[in-house]
Amino acid sequence: MSTAPASGKLTPCGTFPTAYGVAVPVFEPTAPDPSGEEHVLFTMEGTAICAGIHDPEQRKRFIAEATRTGRAPSFEAFGGGPVPRVLLPRPSFPAYPRLPRDDSTPVEAWITALMDRFRWCDSRRPGA
């Protein structure tokens, strides 16, 4: 998880859904990653929320400590924990063969609609 620099103007590029049902804003990197990997930047507030630091006072302490030391401190020291990583279940059948192929617009609209459903992963069919 890349964190945004304390200074400088950042360009918003969307939101990132956390495991706690809260979306945090993400920003475009100021320079491309030399490795070629695509990534986004999080504010320290967003980083704290992703790490489960729910108490606003604890988040303020976390941000103050990060600002003082120049790096993200231990999440656990402020009531958080490692950022959860949840594996998505495999679908029963692939969606790609059913997508329209003649024009990319319907595919783009389908993907955008899917990404706009903030908690799409919670709407799985029971028993699937």
Q: How confident is the model at residue 102 (pLDDT cuts 50, 70, 90)?
A: low
Contact yes or no for 40/2 (Cβ under 8 A): yes
Q: What is the pTM of this model?
A: 0.58
Question: pLDDT by residue (tens digit) across 19-31?
Answer: 788 889 989 888 8
As beta bridge partners, residue 112 has none
Torsions phi, psi for 108 (to 5 deg): -60, -40
Q: At 15, which helix (H) or strand (E)? A: strand 12-17
State how far the Cα of 34 lies from the Cα of 40, in Å rounded to an integer: 14
Residue type, 41: L
pLDDT digits 0-9 by tens, 57-88? 999 999 999 999 998 899 999 999 887 777 77
Helix locations, 1-128, DSSP H: 44-50, 56-69, 104-116
C-beta contacts of 5-11 below 8 A and 24+ residues apart:
5/30, 6/44, 6/67, 10/41
